[in-house]
Amino acid sequence: MTAAVEESASVRTREAALLEIRQLVVEYGAGERPARAVDGVDLAIGEGEIVGLAGESGCGKTTVANAVMQLLRPPARIVGGSILFEGEDLLGKSAEQLRRYRGRNVSMVLQSAMNALNPVMRVGDQFVDTMRAHERIDRRRALMRAGELLELVGIDRGRARSYPHELSGGMRQRVIIAMALALNPQLIIMDEPTTALDVVVQREILQQVEALKREFSFAVLFITHDLSLLLEFADRIAIMYAGEIVETAPAEQLAVSPQHPYTQGLLASFPPLTGTWTRLTGIPGSPPDLRDPPVGCRFNPRCPHCRPEDHELYVRQTTERPKLRIVAPGHEVACHLIARGSE
Amino acid sequence: MTTAAPLEVRSLTKHFAVRSAFRRTHVHAVDDVSFDLRHGTITALVGESGSGKSTVARLLAHLFEPSDGAVIFEGVDVSRVRRRQDVLRYRSQVQMIFQDPFASLNPVKTIRHHVERPLRIHGIVPPAQIEERVHELLRTVGLVPPQDIAAKYPHELSGGQRQRVAIARALAVEPRVVLADEPISMLDVSIRIGILNLMLKLKEERRIAFLYVTHDLASARYVADDILVMYAGQIVERGPIEQVLSEPLHPYTRLLLAAVPDPATKLRAQRIEARKGRASAAVDPQEGCRFVTRCPLAIDVCSRVTPELVEAQPQQAARCHVTAPAPSS
């Protein structure tokens, strides 16, 4: 039964996927015990779709992003799986092909985008460099385009003459987003793009990304630890824990019916702004060391449903890795509790 | 119930002079800020980055000297004490917890060293009892077994555990007041609640007066009794937190509340119009409300007259001509 379910899952995603990650495995470090930062991740992103990848620090979400951008450097290395962009595997492309792919097809807004700008170059010149690395365009026209792009993200075009230090954090972040749009890519990867900003600016920027997405119809892979943000912003959400995806679902569905105990714990870690006060517990313990992850389900040491009293289940939880199973259309969960319920 | 205020802040002001090539400007980082921190109470201080909230915490920790105003600790103005002995005594009563638990611990020293150092410096317990007290403190903050934890180095602990060490170290001197500057913003979501619950426990069991500096309204609501909202160096609203968050007076408080992600609604797409470059309202402020350029409710008087903090509801005050007008006008 399991095999059939997995088959149908991959057939379904193959139809319209812009990007498809299949069974990706990435390791850091060499020797007997390398750390598997990403261990068998499947993720598909359709055209114009906003997919959120959420998880705690060290769960491998940034490594997935870097793998998609083909930016992994030793000691990180891809040891298994494939990354298909419009059906073509990126692993095996030449350096020049990858250079063209970055920017034209996929661009990235980095975690510390505040520091991603060159401090001694005017903002406009940095746009010109980006554009001229990928297409034949003269300087004057490139600067014009830079001005248009800045206006798209709500920055006065005269700011093209500013140096990065003359801009606020929120403006620098918008400049980076404008730069990511410069080559009209099909997919933009955003890795914690608003984490360093305060809530008001964060909201403005996300509303703007949403508006730009409607206009230019690019897809977004949005990586964050802030699940509450994704519920509002993303079409579909994948929850990552210790190198694995443990649950994926449409955002609306995840908000109302999270199935994995880790997802439930994450959602219960955000204190509400309204309603009666209730004591929250968070999730006890901390994420595992990926050089030596727990056997069986990796969440088992922190899982409230993993108890020796329930012997049969406990044995499976501590010996067998749960697989992603479909529980509802578009909703997949990797948890032994679910498997038990459906059999 | 009336609770004594160990720490009273009166018209606290801090201006920083900023010199550039052509002119000299003054950043009014903190302007005429007054509030009390009471025993067994958590007071949240919220605002966006650059609002001056961290400067307030640092002024209270005696890391800067204020330009004006007073910090009264148990009846004595401590804002200008200079004698090392007096500063030490104040710091043994008012402790600070910083945002970054990775930077606030010495990487080459064990956890034991961090927790026992304040015990020795301030002579809290006789040397023979230090070991026992260290273990007790670690147990208090939920680091068990304390014997194992004490022997570890900071890099062997997770971010949440490190922040607990920082709290144990702050508690070592048995402070009356703890200033927590964004203590959870660098921690993983799943362990933040643990730190907030620890603050609640310490508030109840030890009657500590907490100042909780944050930009996160939801976590402020979870732990705090009172709230102070800061904008461009001034307190723009204060009151009991439940009351302020359910019926906010100041337009800035309303804006902050509206910006918090709400899983129940979908984000609206919105194009942001280009804003002309505008310096922060705290730089060489003019007469008038500092929020006026962003305010949807602004009226004529707002750009001419600086609003006062007016108690428009019982215990709830705001600095706004429209929603909290002064009684005389």
Asked if the model's pLDDT at residue A16 lies above 80, the reply is no
Asked if the model's pLDDT at residue A277 lies above 60, the reply is yes
More confident of the two residues A219 and A165:
A219
More confident of the two residues B327 and A21:
A21
pLDDT at A239: 96
A56: chain B residues, CB-CB within 8 Å: 188-190
Q: Give the whole-angstrom CA distance, residue A31 versus residue A203.
A: 45
Asked if the model's pLDDT at residue A115 lies above 80, the reply is no
Q: Note whether A342 and A327 are within 8 A (CB).
A: yes
Structure tokens at B261: 């992600």
Q: Which residue of B has its CA nearest to A263?
A: B190
User: What's the pLDDT band for A168 if we cut at 50, 70, 90?
Assistant: confident
Asked if the model's pLDDT at residue A111 lies above 80, the reply is no
Residue partners of B314: CB distance under 8 A and separation at least 6? none
Structure tokens at B80: 């200008």
Mean pLDDT of all residues in B3-10: 83
Q: Note whether A249 and A325 are within 8 A (CB).
A: no
Selected residue of A162, A229, A232 to mutate for chain B interface (largest B Cβ count, 10 A): A232
pLDDT at A56: 86
Asked if the model's pLDDT at residue B258 lies above 90, the reply is no
Q: Which residue of B has its CA nearest to A200?
A: B259
Asked if the model's pLDDT at residue A12 lies above 50, the reply is no
Q: Give the whole-angstrom CA distance, residue B204 versus residue A45.
A: 49
Host H or E run for residue A44: strand A35-46
Q: Give the whole-angstrom CA distance, residue B163 versus residue B302.
A: 43
Read off the pLDDT of residues B81-106 as tens digits, 9 standing for 90 and up: 888 888 888 988 999 998 888 788 99
Query: What is the distance of C-alpha B138 from the center of its chain?
Result: 24
Q: How many CB atoms lie within 10 A of CB A116?
A: 17
Q: How many residues does chain A have?
A: 343
B268 touches chain A (CB under 8 A): yes
Host H or E run for residue A211: helix A199-216
More confident of the two residues A9 and A181:
A181
pLDDT at A104: 84
Mean pLDDT of all residues in A255-262: 93
More confident of the two residues B186 and A10:
B186
Task: Please tell me whether residue B67 adopts helix, strand or coil conformation.
Answer: coil
A208 touches chain B (CB under 8 A): yes
Q: Given an 8 Å threshold on Cβ–Cβ distance, is A199 in contact with B191?
A: no
Q: Given an 8 Å threshold on Cβ–Cβ distance, is A199 in contact with B259?
A: yes
Structure tokens at B88: 């030490």
Read off the pLDDT of residues A169-192 as tens digits, 9 standing for 90 and up: 778 888 998 888 888 899 999 988
User: What's the pLDDT band for A8 if we cut at 50, 70, 90?
Assistant: very low
Least Cα distance to B281 among B9, B25, B12 occurs for B25
B194: chain A residues, CB-CB within 8 Å: 282, 284
Q: Give the whole-angstrom CA distance, residue A225 versus residue A57.
A: 7
Q: Given an 8 Å threshold on Cβ–Cβ distance, is A154 in contact with B196?
A: no
Read off the pLDDT of residues B208-244 as tens digits, 9 standing for 90 and up: 999 999 989 999 999 999 999 999 999 999 999 999 9
Query: What is the distance of C-alpha B45 from the center of its chain?
Result: 5
pLDDT at A18: 92
User: What's the pLDDT band for B110 if we cut at 50, 70, 90?
Assistant: very high
A156 touches chain B (CB under 8 A): yes
Q: In whole numbers, what is the pLDDT of chain B averaged over residues?
A: 88
pLDDT at B87: 86
pLDDT at A50: 94
Q: Given an 8 Å threshold on Cβ–Cβ distance, is B222 in contact with A208?
A: no
Q: Which residue of B has its CA nearest to A272?
A: B218
Read off the pLDDT of residues A299-334 as tens digits, 9 standing for 90 and up: 999 999 999 998 888 998 999 999 999 999 999 999
Read off the pLDDT of residues A230-250 as tens digits, 9 standing for 90 and up: 998 899 999 999 999 999 999
Q: Residue B226: what are its φ and ψ, rounded to 5°? A: -120, 160
Mean pLDDT of all residues in B306-312: 94
Asked if the model's pLDDT at residue B267 lies above 70, the reply is no
Q: What percent of chain A lies above the pLDDT cut of 90?
A: 39
Structure tokens at B171: 């508690």
A291 touches chain B (CB under 8 A): no
Residue partners of B156: CB distance under 8 A and separation at least 6? none
Asked if the model's pLDDT at residue A339 lies above 80, the reply is no
pLDDT at A33: 80
Question: Is the omega angle on the peptide bond into residue B248 within 30 degrees of 0, that is, cis?
Answer: no
Global pTM?
Answer: 0.85
User: What's the pLDDT band for B68 if we cut at 50, 70, 90?
Assistant: very high
B265 touches chain A (CB under 8 A): yes
Read off the pLDDT of residues A116-127 as tens digits, 9 standing for 90 and up: 888 899 999 999
Q: Give the whole-angstrom CA distance, residue A80 versus residue A26.
A: 7
Q: Give the whole-angstrom CA distance, residue A4 versus residue B13.
A: 69
End-to-end Cα separation, chain B, in angstroms: 34
Q: Distance, in angstroms, between B231 CA and closest chain A CA?
A: 13
A153 touches chain B (CB under 8 A): yes
Q: Given an 8 Å threshold on Cβ–Cβ distance, is A270 in contact with B189?
A: yes
User: What's the pLDDT band for B251 if we cut at 50, 70, 90?
Assistant: very high
pLDDT at A288: 85
Structure tokens at B292: 């006026």
A10-14, A29-33, A231-235, B109-113: the lowest-pLDDT one: A10-14
B162: chain A residues, CB-CB within 8 Å: none
Host H or E run for residue A28: strand A17-28
B219 touches chain A (CB under 8 A): yes
Q: What percent of chain B lies above the pLDDT cut of 70?
A: 92
Read off the pLDDT of residues A61-85 as tens digits, 9 standing for 90 and up: 889 999 998 888 888 889 999 999 9
